[in-house]
Amino acid sequence: MRTVFWEDNALKMIDQRRLPGSLEIAVCRTHVETAEAIRSMTVRGAPAIGVTAAFGLALAANGSRARSAAALLADLETAAQILKVSRPTAVNLAWAVDRVMKVISKKAEGRSVDELRSFVLDEAQRIADEDVAVNKRMGEHGAALIDDGDTVIHHCNTGALAVVDWGTALGVVRTAHGQGKRVHVLVDETRPRLQGSRLTAWELQQYGIPYEIISDNMAGHFLRTGAAQKVLFGADRIAANGDVANKIGTYMLALAAHDNGVPVYSVAPTSSIDLSLKDGSQIPIEERDPEEVLGLQFMGERVAPAGAQARNPAFDVTPNRLITAIVTENGIVRPPFDKNLPKVV
C-alpha cells in the first residue's frame, strides 16, 4: 500500500507514530488537519510530506466556499502558506505546494471553480504517482553502487514510509536485494525519535532483508573495524554546492565514514535539491520540542532527571567534502557538485 493516498474524498496516510506496534491509517479532511499531520510527524520523510501538502491543497479547494476562480485562488494561497510553514527544513514541501499553485494559477482564467478543484486534485495525484516512478529510478541507479555481500549503515528512515512508495536510500537497498545481491543493513536507531529502530527495521522485516539495529554512537566502531562497506542516507534539502541537510546525526556518521575511507551516498530526488541556496549554512534547521529528547525511557524509566533542559535540532548539515556521491532519479552525481548538480535538476 502507499504511505499517502487519496480515498473517499479524503487524504489518508499511514500513521507513522504508531509503528511498529500497529499499522493504522490517519485521515485528514481539511488543510489545517493536513498541516498538523505534517507537524506532528504522523507523516514524515521529505518526499512524503511534499505529496501530503499537495493533497492538503486539494482538501482546501474542496472546502472552499469560493464562487469565483479568483476567490478560490485566494483561499488556496492562504492554505499554501499554512502548509509550507508546517515543517521548514525539507524543501520538497514548498516545492510540491508551489508546483500545484503554479499549475492552477495558469489554468484559472476562464475556468469554473469546480474545474479548478479537479485540477488541484489531479496535480496532487500526478505528483504522488511521479514520486513512485522517481524512487524506482533512483533505486536502479543506486543499486549499481552496492556490491554483493555489502554491509550498509543506514541512518533514519528512507523507505516507502518516507515517500509515497519504494524509498530513496532504502529503496536502493531494496533494489539491490531484488537483484539478488546479498545486502546486510546496520540500522542506526536515529535518536531521539528512533525512526531507524521503529520504522526502518520494521520495513526491512517486511522485505525480508537481513538487518541489525545499532545505536547511533556504534557506527564509528563498525566503520573503523571494516564491518561496513557503505553508508547510505537520504536528504531533506541539498544546497547548490552539495551540502546535505538530513536527519540529526548524519554529519557525525559521515565524518566517521570519511575518516575510515568508507563511501558515503546521499540518495534524494531532484526535488530535494535547492539550487537557490549557495551552501548548507543557508538551510533552515527545524528545532523541535525538547520533550522528544527528555521523554526517552530506559527499562520503563524516564532517562532525564526532573527539571532537565534539552536542545532538539531535527537536522544537521553534512559538508559536501564528506559526500562521495549523490544519487538522483536522473543519475549519480559526483564532485564538483556545484558544477554537476545543475546538470541533473
Res. 90 pLDDT band, cuts 50 70 90: confident
Q: What is the pLDDT of residue 217?
A: 97
Comparing C-alpha atoms, which of 284, 290, 280 is closest to residue 193? 290
Identified catalytic residue from 236, 243, 274, 316: 236
Give per-residue burial for 20-44: e unless 16+ CB within 10 Å, then b. Answer: eeeeeebebebbbbbbebbeebbbb
Q: Across-strand partners of 211?
A: 185
> How far, in Å, CA of 128 to CA of 96, rounded?
10
Comparing C-alpha atoms, which of 80, 51, 257, 284 is closest to residue 154? 257
Segment 238-255, tens digit of pLDDT: 999 999 999 999 999 999
Residue pair 127/96 in contact (Cβ under 8 Å)? The answer is yes
Helix, strand or coil, per DSSP, at residue 265: strand
Residue pair 130/164 in contact (Cβ under 8 Å)? The answer is no
What does CATH list as the number for 4-136?
Answer: 1.20.120.420
Strands of 10-14's sheet in order across: 4-7, 10-14, 25-28
Res. 88 pLDDT band, cuts 50 70 90: confident
Report the Cα 267 to chain-centroid distance in Å. Answer: 10
> How far, in Å, CA of 31 to CA of 186, rounded?
38
State the burial class of residue 280 (Cβ atoms within 10 Å of its Cβ: 0-12, 13-18, 19+): buried
**Does pLDDT of 1 surpass 90?**
no
Report the pLDDT averaged over residues 218-224.
98
Segment 300-318, tens digit of pLDDT: 999 999 999 999 999 999 9
Place of cell 531533506: 236
> How far, in Å, CA of 64 to CA of 76, rounded?
8
Residue pair 38/93 in contact (Cβ under 8 Å)? The answer is yes
Handedness of CA 205, 211, 215, 219 (dihedral sign): negative
Place of cell 573503523: 224
pTM of this structure: 0.93
Q: What is the pLDDT of residue 108?
A: 82
What type of residue is 282? Q
Residue pair 34/96 in contact (Cβ under 8 Å)? The answer is no
**23, containing H or E segment:** none
User: Can you give the residue ranges of every domain in the chain?
Assistant: 4-136, 137-344
Q: Helix 46-63 to helix 91-107 angle, to the nearest 10 degrees?
A: 40
Average pLDDT, the chain: 96
Q: What is the pLDDT of residue 107?
A: 84
> How far, in Å, CA of 276 to CA of 182, rounded?
40
Segment 135-187, tens digit of pLDDT: 999 999 999 999 999 999 999 999 999 999 999 999 999 999 999 999 999 99
Helices (H) and strands (E) in the chain, counts: 12, 16
Residue 148, all three cell numbers = 554483493
> How far, in Å, CA of 250 to CA of 323, rounded?
11
Give 36-40's long-range contacts (Cβ < 8 A, gap of 24+). 36/86, 37/13, 38/83, 38/86, 38/87, 38/93, 39/86, 39/87
> How far, in Å, CA of 34 to CA of 304, rounded?
32
Q: Which CATH architecture has domain 137-344?
A: 3-Layer(aba) Sandwich (3.40)
Active site residue 236: yes
